[in-house]
Structure 1
Amino acid sequence: MTVFLFALGAGAVMAGCGGNEAALGEQARGLKCVDDSNVCISQRKIVYDSYMADKSRAWVKHPAGPHEYASGVRLMAFNKKRAELSCDELAHAKAEADRGPASLKSGANSGLTPAQIARAGMLAREVSRDLGREFARRCR
């Protein structure tokens, strides 16, 4: 699934990594960078790795928009960390994953391609299912 994360934007031609994003930090660029360029793949990996290393998991409750869903970084991090998340964090992560498909559709005018929207929606539904199972197993 990690390969899916970094290939999520494969085939898309989008300028999600340039322009006014230059002033943002690495994480903001990585979360909004959804094309298949080496730069975007590298930026997404940096963000993902920082999430995996963050013991406080402060990123869990940060808001996500269409590009954050399309990048797949947060969803993949939620899925990878699901066994470590508290019940509150699991509930928050599942709610975010559940909002993914609707957020992506509302972001259709934000430059995302139909293929990016479809792939990210599929990932959001899969992650929501996995988080729901973990929540049901541990947080009754």
Structure 2
Amino acid sequence: MNHFEYAPHTRKSNTAMALLLATFAAAGCAGNEAALGDPARGLKCVDDSNVCISQRKMVYDSYMSDPTRAWVKHPAGPHEYASGVRLMAFSRKRKELNCNELAHGKAEADRGPYALSGGAYVGLTTGQIARAAMLAREVSRELAQEIARRCR
């Protein structure tokens, strides 16, 4: 059951994504304002309900089709890290991002585990927090490799 069909096809990424999706499946929709029509609804929707899956996919698809990549510079909070949408977008787009965008994405991924441990994660389970932090570390590694390969 792959909800991010455009995700990179690496063993570690697939494992991280499977764990993240398993968390969403077990999480439920408690305290999720995303279903109420928040403009960034897919970024704050962290469960595996059909509504949240659809919202996350819409945001992800909009990122993939945005030729300006304006989303790269938008700030991310704990729920955005937990949803995985931005991190998966950075991972998928890494070969297309310029060096500044890669650096911004890596900095965002590096902040993920700290943002999730600062107490601003109301409504997230410890499992969601742990898996989002794991995904952030994986994406940070991928972006670091891309930076090392292309940016001097």
Show CA shifts across 1:54-88 (max 9, x none).
00000000000000000000000000000000100
Identity of matched residues, % = 69
Measured in 1, the distance between the counterparts of 2:57 and 2:128 equals: 18
Cα offsets for 1:25-45 (capped at 9, x unmatched): 2xx110000011110011000
Q: CA RMSD in A?
A: 2.0
Contact 1:33–1:43 (CA<8 Å) still a contact in 2?
yes
| Structure 1 segments unaligned to the other structure (5+ residues) | none
Aligned residue in 1 for 2:29: 14
Residues 16 and 53 (structure 1 numbering): CA distance in 2 closer, same or farther, change over 3 Å?
farther
* Alignment correspondent of 2:100: 88
SS of match in other structure, 2:24: coil
Structure 1 SS opposite 2:29: coil
Range that drifts further, 2-11 or 55-64: 2-11
CA offsets, 1:7-52, max 9 Å, x none?
A: 2512112335447x62422xx1100000111100110000000000
Q: Could you tell me the TM-score, scaled by structure 1's length?
A: 0.89
Please state how far the C-alpha of 1:111 moved relative to its aligned partner.
Answer: 1.3
CA contact (8 A) 2:43 2:79 kept: yes
Matched, 1:54 2:66: yes
Counterparts of 1:118 and 1:70, CA distance in 2: 9
Q: Which residue of 2 aligns with 1:64?
A: 76
Q: TM-score, normalised by structure 2?
A: 0.83
Written as runs of structure 1 = structure 2, the 5 A alignment for 1:1-140 is 2=4, 4=17, 7=21, 9-18=24-33, 22-25=36-39, 28-107=40-119, 109-140=121-152
Q: Identify if the C-alpha distance between structure 1 residues 109 and 131 changes in structure 2 by more than 3 Å, giving closer, same or farther.
A: closer
Contact 1:16 1:34 survives alignment (8 Å): no
* Contact 1:108–1:117 under 8 Å retained in 2: no
